[in-house]
Amino acid sequence: MRTNMNTRINGTNVILVPYQEKHVTKYHEWMKNPTLQYLTGSEPLTLEQEFEMQKRWLEDKDKCTFIILDKHIFVSTESEVDAMIGDTNLFLNEPQESCIAEVEIMIADEASRGKKRGWESVILMMCYGIEMLNINKLRAKIKTDNAISIKIFEKLGFQEVGKSEVFQEVTLEKEVSSDWMNWLHSKLQSITSDSN
């Protein structure tokens, strides 16, 4: 979406930047991985299709996408592409009285997993969505065998509301409240700089 086209969100160990043309080739390489395709429910695309999708997602009013950069790599290389480790998305429903968004997080770079980069990124993304896009309910759809992601969202206060045997997915939701927002901000403040 164009709303976040010039937005950079600085965290302690990550930076969220809008998904741009320069990121597409590396993103496409990630998405050739069958495990990532499975976990994200994605179909393999050609590089040309990936470029088309990036353009479309920029224009779509219901898709908010950020590429996750490792802040320490970016500071030392000054290259967004070199620092790319994953992405995070919000898919907004049709604006109604209650704005619901589906939240997604992917740490594609294996060396960056287990370092709380996903934890920090998804909290930053949710705070952005709540504060800038007026989201008041968040939903996550996760493969039933993706225990790590399910655990992250449960730790964030999400609760299971449904299961799909067909898609092998569990759906978790969280209503936004001021207490929960304060809790999210306290979690961001407690993240320490980790340059490993």
pLDDT tens track for 11-30: 999 999 999 999 999 999 99
Provide mean pLDDT across the span 164-171: 92
Extents of the domains making up the chain:
2-189
User: What residues have CB less than 8 Å from 97, skipping those under 6 apart?
Assistant: none
Q: How far, in Å, CA of 191 to CA of 103, rounded?
A: 21
The proportion of the chain whose per-residue pLDDT surpasses 70, expressed as a percent, equals 96
Task: Give pLDDT, residue 35.
Answer: 85
The CA-CA-CA angle for residues 57, 135, 67, to 5°, reads: 40
Question: Is 82 within 8 Å of 4 (Cβ atoms)?
Answer: no
Q: How far, in Å, CA of 121 to CA of 144, rounded?
A: 22
pLDDT tens track for 89-123: 999 986 555 689 999 999 999 999 999 999 999 99
Among 48, 91, 47, CA closest to 66: 91
| Residue 125: how many other CB atoms lie within 10 Å | 25
Residue 195 has pLDDT above 60, yes or no: no
At 37, which helix (H) or strand (E)?
helix 34-40
Q: Using CB atoms within 10 A of its CB, is residue 116 exposed (0-12), middle (13-18) or buried (19+)? A: middle
Q: How far, in Å, CA of 66 to CA of 102, rounded?
A: 14
- 81: helix, strand or coil: helix
CATH architecture, range 2-189: 3-Layer(aba) Sandwich (3.40)
Provide mean pLDDT across the span 145-163: 95
Task: Give pLDDT, residue 49.
Answer: 87
Tokens of 28: 């496409």
pTM beyond 0.75: yes
